[in-house]
């Protein structure tokens, strides 16, 4: 009899668990990782140990449990805090500039470097140096010094 | 220098100009100052249980100008600076169609009650236990104060301590509007 009650208890409690926790913690983490912690601006809600971040994770969990999709949960935070809440700005609208400008700048720089290098390599070689006229005394001195160098 | 290159020289300062403008703009703005996307939007409804045990609901206050103040007893000095101004504002406006609601966030009951007693706050004050109301209002720090018009729309937001002057400037225009 007591065994049956025990089994029933296990069944009931496991059912309660299933009903209470339909939300995957991975999903909560995924969403939290995209959101900026509002009190510690350079951390995500997933990484921040603050009370606010803790509450926000709880709210994410609650909204998922309420049947919202991850996109809807994220949209809720954006609606309340603005795009600022997203750690990566969306690749649309004005924010797309953040994604484009660095690469455009890099490309422009590479083009400038390529043009400059091409100009340098095309420059005509300097005229062949004409040896200054040397007299006999100078030639003798050169020979002498060269010979001395060989001896060293 | 060839004439063609001399001709292109002005490109360098002209090319640098937008970058300088962008940097100038970026360095002059305060990264901590974030505009609220809620201005002009309907204020999120809430029902909270006050420290006195009453229910306070935003819905029930339609037709009145509502000031919602988010605070915490650990928020020093800003919350302590504005508390006397809030008490004065409540005395001045409670009979003129303004309701003030204090929302106590991330706090413990004991110090929160002490805070209220210290400043003699008699307007409804309620804790926001799971932070749901705070997130609904996009609160990222205390104190923050929202000014809601008679139609229930968020019309003003103040981050930081409220002063008598600011309170008057925000509330008077809303009072002169028809509900």
Tens of pLDDT, residue by residue over B46-65, are 999 999 999 999 999 999 99
Provide the token pair at B31.
């990264």
Q: What is the mean pLDDT of residues B95-104?
A: 96
Q: Which of B34, B130, B134 sits opposite A84 (nearest CB)?
A: B34
Question: Does B141 fall in a domain?
Answer: yes
Determine the distance in angstroms separating the CA of B32 from the nearest CA of chain A, rounded to an integer: 8
**Burial class of residue A91, CB neighbours in 10 A (0-12, 13-18, 19+):** exposed
Residue B11: the pLDDT is 79
State the pLDDT confidence band at B32, using cuts at 50, 70 and 90: low
pTM for this prediction = 0.73
In chain B, residues 147-166 whose CB comes closer than 8 Å to chain A: none
Question: Does B42 fall in a domain?
Answer: no
Highest mean pLDDT among A91-95, A129-133, B36-40, B71-75: B71-75
Residue A7: the pLDDT is 57
Rounded-to-integer distance, Cα B112 and Cα B51, Å: 9
B37 touches chain A (CB under 8 A): yes
Residue B106 falls in which region: left (phi positive, over 0), alpha (psi -120 to 50) or beta: left
Hey, where are the domains in chain A? 22-88, 90-121
Provide the token pair at A34.
């995209």
Partners of residue B34 in chain A, C-beta under 8 Å: 81-82, 84
Determine the distance in angstroms separating the CA of A13 from the nearest CA of chain B, rounded to an integer: 25
Residue A18: the pLDDT is 45
Partners of residue A79 in chain B, C-beta under 8 Å: 37
**Number of domains within chain B:** 1
A39 touches chain B (CB under 8 A): yes
Question: Does B98 fall in a domain?
Answer: yes
pLDDT at B7 over 80: no
Q: Which of B32, B35, B131 sits opposite A59 (nearest CB)?
A: B131
Least confident of A42-56, A120-134, B162-176: A120-134
Residue B39: closest CA among chain A residues belongs to which residue? A80
Determine the distance in angstroms separating the CA of A54 from the nearest CA of chain B, rounded to an integer: 9
Q: Name the DSSP letter for residue A130.
A: P
Question: Does B37 fall in a domain?
Answer: no
Q: Which of B31, B38, B130 sits opposite A80 (nearest CB)?
A: B38
pLDDT at B89 over 60: yes
Q: Name the DSSP letter for residue A125.
A: P
Rounded-to-integer distance, Cα B79 and Cα B133, Å: 18
Whole-complex ipTM: 0.81
Partners of residue A84 in chain B, C-beta under 8 Å: 34
Any idea of the CA torsion for B75, B77, B82, B84, to the nearest 10 degrees?
Answer: 110
What share of chain B has pLDDT > 90, as a percent?
77
Check CB contact under 8 Å for B138 and A55: no
Rounded-to-integer distance, Cα B44 and Cα B114, Å: 28
Question: Does B32 fall in a domain?
Answer: no
> How is the beta sheet containing B144-148 ordered, strand by strand?
B125-128, B98-105, B65-71, B144-148, B154-159
Determine the distance in angstroms separating the CA of A43 from the nearest CA of chain B, rounded to an integer: 14
CATH topology (fold) of A22-88: Helicase, Ruva Protein; domain 3 (1.10.8)
Rounded-to-integer distance, Cα A79 and Cα A81, Å: 6
Do residues B146 and B99 make contact, with C-beta atoms less than 8 angstroms apart? Answer: no
Identify the CATH number of the domain in which residue B154 sits. Answer: 3.40.30.10
Residue with the bigger pLDDT between A125 and B52: it is B52
State the pLDDT confidence band at B6, using cuts at 50, 70 and 90: low
State the pLDDT confidence band at A111, using cuts at 50, 70 and 90: very high
Q: Name the DSSP letter for residue B73.
A: T
Determine the distance in angstroms separating the CA of A12 from the nearest CA of chain B, rounded to an integer: 28
Do residues B127 and B101 make contact, with C-beta atoms less than 8 angstroms apart? Answer: no
pLDDT at B91 over 60: yes
What share of chain A has pLDDT > 90, as a percent?
42
B32 touches chain A (CB under 8 A): yes
Question: Does B5 fall in a domain?
Answer: no
The three-state DSSP-derived secondary structure of B115-127 is HHHHHCCCCCEEE
Question: Does B136 fall in a domain?
Answer: yes
Residue B43: the pLDDT is 96
């Amino acid at each position: 009899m007591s065994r049956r009650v025990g089994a029933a208890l296990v069944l009931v409690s496991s059912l309660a668990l299933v009903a209470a926790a339909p939300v995957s913690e991975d999903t909560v983490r995924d969403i939290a990782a995209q959101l900026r912690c509002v009190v510690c601006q350079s951390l995500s809600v997933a990484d921040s140990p603050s009370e606010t971040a803790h509450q926000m994770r709880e709210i994410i969990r609650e909204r998922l449990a309420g049947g919202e999709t991850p996109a809807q949960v994220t949209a809720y935070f954006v609606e309340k805090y603005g795009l600022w809440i997203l750690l990566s700005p969306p690749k649309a609208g004005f924010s797309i500039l953040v994604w484009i400008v660095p690469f455009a700048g890099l490309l422009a720089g590479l083009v400038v470097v390529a043009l400059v290098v091409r100009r340098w390599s095309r420059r005509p070689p300097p005229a062949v140096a004409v040896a200054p006229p040397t007299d006999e005394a100078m030639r003798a001195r050169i020979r002498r010094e060269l010979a001395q160098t060989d001896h060293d | 220098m060839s004439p063609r290159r001399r001709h292109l020289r002005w490109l360098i300062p002209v090319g640098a100009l937008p970058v300088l403008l962008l940097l100038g703009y970026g360095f002059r703005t305060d990264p901590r100052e974030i505009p609220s996307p809620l201005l002009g939007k309907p204020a999120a409804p809430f029902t909270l249980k006050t420290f006195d045990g009453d229910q306070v609901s935003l819905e029930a206050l339609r037709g009145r100008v509502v000031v919602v103040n988010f605070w915490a007893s650990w928020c020093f000095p800003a919350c302590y600076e504005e508390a006397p101004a809030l008490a004065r504002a409540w005395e001045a406006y409670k009979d003129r169609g303004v309701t003030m609601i204090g929302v106590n966030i991330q706090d413990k009951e004991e110090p929160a009650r002490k805070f209220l007693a210290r400043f003699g706050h008699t307007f409804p004050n309620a804790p926001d236990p799971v932070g749901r109301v705070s997130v609904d209002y996009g609160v990222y720090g205390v104190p923050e104060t929202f000014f809601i018009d008679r139609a229930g729309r968020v019309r003003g937001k103040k981050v930081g301590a409220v002063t008598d002057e600011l309170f008057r400037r925000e509330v008077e225009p809303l009072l002169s509007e028809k509900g």
